[in-house]
Structure 1
Amino acid sequence: MTNEAAKGQLTELMELVQGGIASVARAQQERAQLTATAHAAGRRVTITVNADCIVIKTEFSDDIDDLEYSEIAAAVTTATQEAAAKVQEMARKILEKSHEEQSRIPALSDFFPEMPDIKAMMPPVPTVSTAAPGSSERTAPEPEPAIRFTNVEEWDHDGSSRSSISAPEW
């Protein structure tokens, strides 16, 4: 490969990377503007959330007093969860477009065959529970250690079994 060809490839790669960064910035800005609204209890409760699923507006209809407090609380929870699900779906679609553009950027392993694919090593993002505090769904099992070494020597870290020149057995 000639030096000019390598420079051309590097220029093309840099343009792809810059385009990917611009795509991420656009997606982040677009996502930051998202809101979603949901209703519950026969439209007596209306909740609006922002892109981070934080409630930014709560409205009760004039006939909210037809409901018991527990029904109002359940309706607020339901409407909030529905609004959050809507805004998360909108954000997913925005980020999906950005990821499509980023997928055109070659991986480091394309240039350095011995380099592992870092994207493939990333763990998947876990689904966040909408279950109430204290519910059985919220008691998660202990996570497995990310790395387990098998070919190792045991070492006494507190020093109780180590000997030295100054040890009494000398």
Structure 2
Amino acid sequence: MTNERLKADAAMMMDALQQQLTGIAAIQQQRMQLTGTASVCDKRIQVTVNANGILIDTRFADDIGDLTFEEIATAMTEAVQAAAADVERQGHDLLQPLRAHKARLPKLSDLVEGAPDLDAHAPRTPPAAAPSPDGPVRPRSVVADQDW
């Protein structure tokens, strides 16, 4: 009887793993289509970044010349950071259903006595490098941990 239960639990875990992997692949495809956009300086500067936070489009209003080069540089940094935070939040939101599904599944340690909690040993993505002391503060990563 115990052997049959173990087989059933193992089959359930394998099905759940397959669903997770399929879900991850679908989310990765959706994530790569995301963009984030931000406008600053009364919409004089608008930028768009791709899913990786890379600047892919910059637009200046006709009156951009009213700003100094320093104001433009500072505003560009602020806009790109805001757009990157936006796209990161969107990516985080895409993962929420997958995280919720994962939270409902039993852990290996729940099924096998003495088994380690694998989540506790999963590597975490460290935050990006800190800004220079003279530069603007960058928003901290919303999706610092890749919890699949």
Question: Structure 1 residue 67 and structure 2 residue 75: aligned?
Answer: no
Once residues 64 and 135 of structure 2 are traced to their aligned partners in structure 1, the CA distance between those partners, rounded to angstroms, is 32
Extract unaligned runs of 5+ from structure 2: 138-148
Give the letter for the 1:69 counterpart: F
**Using a 3 Å threshold, how does the CA distance of structure 1 residues 118 and 12 change in structure 2: closer, same or farther?**
closer
Identity %: 38
Equivalent pair of 1:81/1:130 in contact (CA under 8 Å): no
Please state whether the residue corresponding to 1:63 is helix, strand or coil. helix
Please state whether the residue corresponding to 1:103 is helix, strand or coil. helix
Extract unaligned runs of 5+ from structure 1: 139-170
Which residue number in structure 2 is paired with residue 94 of structure 1? Answer: 94
Once residues 109 and 92 of structure 2 are traced to their aligned partners in structure 1, the CA distance between those partners, rounded to angstroms, is 27
- TM-fit CA distance, 1:75: 0.9
Once residues 2 and 123 of structure 1 are traced to their aligned partners in structure 2, the CA distance between those partners, rounded to angstroms, is 33
Backbone CA RMSD of aligned residues: 2.5
Which residue number in structure 2 is paired with residue 51 of structure 1? Answer: 51
Once residues 8 and 122 of structure 1 are traced to their aligned partners in structure 2, the CA distance between those partners, rounded to angstroms, is 26
Equivalent pair of 1:48/1:58 in contact (CA under 8 Å): yes
- TM-fit CA distance, 1:7: 3.4
Equivalent pair of 1:17/1:105 in contact (CA under 8 Å): no
- TM-fit CA distance, 1:66: 1.0
- TM-fit CA distance, 1:4: 4.5
Give the letter for the 1:98 counterpart: L
Q: Specify which structure has the higher proportion of helix.
A: 2
Which residue number in structure 2 is paired with residue 113 of structure 1? Answer: 113
Aligned residues: 137
**Using a 3 Å threshold, how does the CA distance of structure 1 residues 99 and 122 change in structure 2: closer, same or farther?**
same
Give the letter for the 1:14 counterpart: M
Give the letter for the 2:33 counterpart: Q
Please state whether the residue corresponding to 1:116 is helix, strand or coil. coil
Equivalent pair of 2:9/2:111 in contact (CA under 8 Å): no
Q: TM-score under structure 2 normalisation?
A: 0.78
Which residue number in structure 1 is paired with residue 79 of structure 2? Answer: 79
Which residue number in structure 2 is paired with residue 8 of structure 1? Answer: 8
Larger Cα-atom Rg: 1
Which residue number in structure 2 is paired with residue 143 of structure 1? Answer: none
